[in-house]
A = this chain, B = another copy of it.
Amino acid sequence: MANQIVKPSTLPGFIEWLPADQIAFNKMMDTIRKNYEKYGFIPVDTPVIEKSEVLLAKGGGETEKQIYRFTKGDSDLSLRFDLTVPLARFVAQHMNELNFPFRRYQIGKVYRGERNQKGRFREFYQCDIDIIGNGKLSIINDAEIPSIIYSTFTDLGFDSFTIHINNRKVLNGFFDAAGVENKMETLRIIDKLDKIGIEAVKNELKELGLSDGAIERIEQFINISGSSDEVLEGLKNLNIQNEEFVLGLQELSKVVYYIRQFGVPDKNFMIDLKIARGLDYYTGTVYETILNDYPGIGSVCSGGRYDNLAEYYTAQKLPGVGISIGLSRLFYQLKEAGFFKESTSSTLTKVLVVPMDENVSYSIKVSNELKKAGIITEVYFEEGKFAKKLNYANKLGIPYVIIIGEDEIASNVLTLKNMSTGEQLKLTVEEIINKIG
């Protein structure tokens, strides 16, 4: 009885990769994980589904509209939309079983029912680290974070990238000193500087209701540029006595001092007084990371310092600092930009053993020895012409084929074919292992 055929398809905004891409994606994810672990971060894996009342404790905002929320039986459930809220819940729930500072990493899928558009996904991977203090947390942690970004993006194969660093206390203190009330909107306008130029920015600030004096001071502020040391000097020269500004400048100076101790080259970080990362969460250091060869992607790794991670779940004050890499979007954008030129293989297999006739036992024995030596090996078991078997290796991008016929079995000398050069060598199993292992 024939079944009714349902057209196989996935939901819009839900990505899945074909093998070559999935292998490249996993390689990036493994590199990120390895770096997070190298710096002593501990894995956490919270459920994808949480109680709505817990996940949405903060409530409101754009986020709530995007939540995948539903009921099952009596339960009101939501899919996590980031890894930070689950972290807050996790730390508050298990506080007595954790050691502080608690350094955790989590790599997992999150869900947002965003409007469907190119390069935006409704299911995507985030790769997060956070360092959570119990009551307080040293500012030196804020300087270690950029060293992890540096190590990670270097290992991912990037050379030219810049970690932009700012401090929200510097911004807040400066705006207070300048008499700016609508800080959020002011920042949003300043952020457009590179796009629309200084005159347009000044016009918009005027429309917002800022005084000529405030606008003049803002112009002075955003004109501070140069090396990190020059920017710190420029900020000092503003002679602002506002307590928050002074504290922020101290923090920023310490962060710059210690970043260098952690070995991040000056070419890979800068103070950028224009970044703020949204106003309601971060309270000190903030980070954005720009790949200089792919500036259109925007920030590929962002985060910052916050005063209180879990205020909706505990009265205990839990300051922290962290970053997130939106891996699915980053991978997609890099792929679109042609970053993965060398990824031509659709398999991890290094050797395909091809038996010339039905006697496959010898081929299995050879594959056992190669696998024991750590070489990923398959045997082609299916019937078919020799060309078909070679074609399997070719299409997948398997680099080597070992051909085994009667002569090879009799002599224990095998034919190793390099699939990219076509070169064929007569070698023993041991010689093959030494050559390609």
Contact = CB atoms under 8 A, between A and B. Distances in A.
B11 A381 contact: no
Given A6-B57, A6-B313, A138-B382, A23 B49 contact: no
A183 interface: no
Interface in A20-68: 22-23, 25-26, 37-40, 42-51, 53-54, 57, 68
Contact of A378 (B53, B103, B368): B103
A364 B99 CA distance: 21
Interface string A79-119: 00000000011101110011101011000010101000000
A361 interface: yes
Contact of A9 (B49, B93, B136): B93
A312 B371 contact: no
Interface stretch (A161-169, A342-350, A419-427): A342-350
Contact of A11 (B6, B77, B144): B77
B8 A22 contact: no
Contacts of A314: 5, 8
A204 interface: no
A174 to B, nearest CB: 25
Contacts of A262: 364, 368
A51 B11 CA distance: 6
A395 interface: yes
A89 B6 CA distance: 9
A11 to B, nearest CB: 6
Contact of A381 (B22, B46, B141, B349): B141
Interface residues of A, number: 98
A19 B3 contact: no
Interface in A62-78: 68, 70-73, 75, 77
A314 to B, nearest CB: 7
A361 B261 contact: yes
A4 B5 CA distance: 52
Contacts of A73: 113
A328 to B, nearest CB: 10
Given A138-B383, A261-B365, A47 B10 contact: yes
A14 interface: yes
A312 B113 CA distance: 28
Given A68-B72, A311-B3, A348-B42, A109 B48 contact: yes
Contacts of A371: 38-39
Given A103-B378, A371-B38, A54 B9 contact: yes
11 contacts: A6-B54, A8-B314, A11-B49, A11-B50, A37-B348, A40-B376, A40-B378, A48-B123, A101-B381, A136-B382, A258-B364
